[in-house]
Structure 1
Amino acid sequence: MRVVAAMSGGVDSAVAAARMIDAGHDVVGVHLALSQSAATLRESARGCCTIEDAGDARRVADQLGIPFYVWDMAERFKRDVVDDFVAEYAAGRTPNPCLRCNEKIKFAALLDKALALGFDAVATGHYAQVVERPDGGRELHRAVDPAKDQSYVLGVLDAEQLARAFFPLGDTHKPQVREEAAARGFYVARKPDSHDICFIQDGDTRGWLGRALGEAPGEIVDTDGTVLGEHRGAFAYTVGQRRGLGLRRPAADGQPRYVVEVRPEANQVVVGTADLLGVNAITGEHARWCGPAPVGVVTVGAQVRAHGEEFAAEARADGNRVEVRLRERIRGVAPGQSVVLYEGTRVVGSATIVASRLERAREAAR
């Protein structure tokens, strides 16, 4: 099989490419240039796609003896990931750019280009497993290493994309991957992992958004409308946030306050007590299924953060929409986040959260 190995310049994608070669595939290494003004050197474990990263990927490809190319997808990445990220925050939502990158770049733009050039599949260094069923269909499952599992950010893949995706590291724990890289003589064996948002290299999301959107001072209010303080941009706040509120006076009951709502139209941030954050029902749109869409009400596990806890739930799909009923309250569910549904270790699919609420009648019925 002819395979494009996406090589970021890190240890995971290096070992993934090597394993694809060991499996007998005809492999070509490709580094995605995603920045329109790539830095020369990586300054920290944050960020990626520097010229240094491209050089590290090329060095590994040379060691492996495979062709290597840099594909410029900076314009597409800016439009589909960065601009989307900015627009979502401006609208009072909390997006996950890694899911959008996997959906729009790595398993759309990259895969489409690979197929157009005559390749059969794409391999990446993501920690997840693809399991082939007896009927030849493929399923997406959690990685064996729970600390590195990335199935959540791959929950946007559909069956056709899974049919042409390889994740060679899904059956391995991260320390073993580093040991393998060192045994193969890869320079990147001890290179720090990238984390946080790759295009915000200093990790200051609030500052980055402020530069992108400009300051827009407004009110921080209590649920009854009482003004408690000021903010410099509602886009810098997300539901469930406690730190950085800068309130002028404490709550009368002394309880900590959290962001419970962001109102972009009024440019207000609403704060309240922790009990106002608990929800047990989620509505999602832009549903993506890693196989056939569920029929009727199905029992699932629901996860709303990349490395968050999975909660027991029931879900019902209705076209592009999905309703999720949780068996217990969970906190800090923000519009724009993704809810990813599981059946055991298998990823059923995902949807973008547009609303969440507390249905007390359901609690009383239990």
Structure 2
Amino acid sequence: MALDSDKPLNSLGFAKDPADTRVVVAMSGGVDSSVVAAYLAEQGYDVVGVTLQLYDHGAALAKKGACCAGIDIHDARRVAEDVGFPHYVLDYENIFRDAVIDEFADSYLAGATPVPCIRCNERVKFKDLLQTARDLDADCMATGHYIQRKTGLNGAELHCAADSNRDQSYFLFSTTAEQLEYLRFPLGHLPSKDATRELAAKYGLQVADKPDSQDICFVPDGNYASVIEKLRPGAADPGEIVHADGRVLGTHEGVIHYTIGQRRGLGIGGLADPLYVVRLDVDAKQVIVGPKEMLSTRKVPLREINWLGDEPLMSRPEWTVAVKVRSTRPVREAILRPISETEAEVELLTPEEGVSPGQACVFYEQDGTRVLGGGWIWRGY
């Protein structure tokens, strides 16, 4: 359909009436995506809700806090019925297992600390689901993520959410420029989560008081090791807890029970100074521990980089940026030195503790809110 150039842009950035603008809303069944769908429907957009069944919802019904499971599919469907727009449930179990769960298990077994939520956005929601939205002739796809999409001189830009406490930019660094042109994030400008719940109450949504999910959706109780053992039987082989100086301090029941930087639950009490997990040797089945200063890292090697800057990544030998090496950490000043279009080294101006392979390192403008991309931490020095 040709656009009428005389029409003003609607709130989603299209030069046509909302009624002529189809929006697929990715609905998890939670309050955020439900508010997005109701908000856009109120504005008169042609809303289509889509929920992904990511794993056996029959087994997941009893798991509180699990998104895209049975109860959440029911909640999403109920919101669509109450507000009055079509809603579809798509079976993505096989895709989700192949693209997210299997890598999560293998990464954990390799001694890494994976972030499956990023992979889910990258490989499922913003890939297959986004293509489904295109197949439905949607003009764009909207989600309930707390992040802002702004239009810059060179196209769509990714910016942190207005509410820093809700910002999800760390989990969306791998969104490509092409995907960003198609995506919309209507909640990114809101001042707080309370504002979202107020909108939910205004629209009369039955999920208005639904708690936020706190864990990885397929690990709702936070017990990663039990999930790994089910996915990879025999993975929890016992081994030794070894001090960095070579002393054997005790035994463990499987490397999968430990993460870099862990202090509690090591089972090696009675020592004068606290010890932390500084390395996991999967092949030797050893958990290596040492003093806190051994966790300090200045240089961070990255691969699978997604770059969202205006200039090509390789156009400069180095970039002065701010970075996050974990979702819960504050941004730190750093120097980004590209090696190729997809590999780089980050030098932290102030050393960080507990930098772990499998986590992401996300780049931000040094003095702004713009997300410049990021990469995956893949080994230590």
Q: Which amino acid aligns with 1:244?
A: G
**1:188 offset after TM fit, Å?**
0.3
1:164 aligned to which of 182, 200, 210: 182
Distance 2:78 2:140 in 1: 23
Q: Which amino acid aligns with 1:322?
A: A
Distance 1:231 1:20 in 2: 52
After superposition, residues 211-360 of structure 1 pair within 5 angstroms as 211-213=230-232, 214=234, 215-247=236-268, 249-251=269-271, 254-292=272-310, 293-294=312-313, 295-296=315-316, 297-317=318-338, 318-343=340-365, 344-357=368-381
Distance 1:110 1:40 in 2: 21
**1:20 offset after TM fit, Å?**
2.6
1:68 aligned to which of 87, 96, 101: 87
Higher relative contact order (CA 8 A, sep 6+): 1
**1:201 offset after TM fit, Å?**
2.1
1:24-53, Cα deviation, whole Å (9 max, x unpaired): 432100111001354463543x31222221
Does structure 1 retain, via aligned residues, the 8 Å contact 2:57–2:70? no
Q: Percent identity?
A: 45
After superposition, residues 27-106 of structure 1 pair within 5 angstroms as 27-39=47-59, 41-44=61-64, 46-106=65-125
Q: Does 1:195 align with 2:217?
A: no
Distance 2:58 2:182 in 1: 29
Secondary structure at the residue paired with 1:196?
A: coil
1:305-330, Cα deviation, whole Å (9 max, x unpaired): 12221111111222210211111111
Does structure 2 retain, via aligned residues, the 8 Å contact 1:38–1:49? no
Which TM-score applies when normalising by structure 1? 0.92
**1:21 offset after TM fit, Å?**
2.9
Q: Which residue of 2 aligns with 1:361?
A: none
Q: Does 1:11 align with 2:34?
A: no
Instruction: Return closer, same or farther for 1:10/1:156 CA change in 2, 3 Å cut-off.
Output: same
**1:211 offset after TM fit, Å?**
3.2
Q: Which amino acid aligns with 1:228?
A: L
Figure out how many residues of one structure are paired with residues of the other and give that number: 352
1:312-349, Cα deviation, whole Å (9 max, x unpaired): 11112222102111111110001111101101211111
Q: Which amino acid aligns with 2:117?
A: C
Distance 1:43 1:110 in 2: 24
Q: Which residue of 1 aligns with 2:168?
A: 150
**1:23 offset after TM fit, Å?**
4.5
Distance 2:57 2:38 in 1: 30
**Gapped runs of 5+ residues in structure 2?**
1-20
**Gapped runs of 5+ residues in structure 1?**
358-366
1:71-90, Cα deviation, whole Å (9 max, x unpaired): 11111001111111001011
Instruction: Return closer, same or farther for 1:224/1:100 CA change in 2, 3 Å cut-off.
Output: same
Q: Which amino acid aligns with 1:275?
A: E
Does structure 2 retain, via aligned residues, the 8 Å contact 1:42–1:53? no
Instruction: Return closer, same or farther for 1:53/1:255 CA change in 2, 3 Å cut-off.
Output: same
Q: Which amino acid aligns with 2:349?
A: R
Does structure 2 retain, via aligned residues, the 8 Å contact 1:303–1:311? yes
Distance 1:280 1:333 in 2: 9
**1:233 offset after TM fit, Å?**
1.3
RMSD over aligned CA atoms reads 1.6
**1:63 offset after TM fit, Å?**
2.1
Secondary structure at the residue paired with 1:275?
A: helix
Which TM-score applies when normalising by structure 2? 0.89
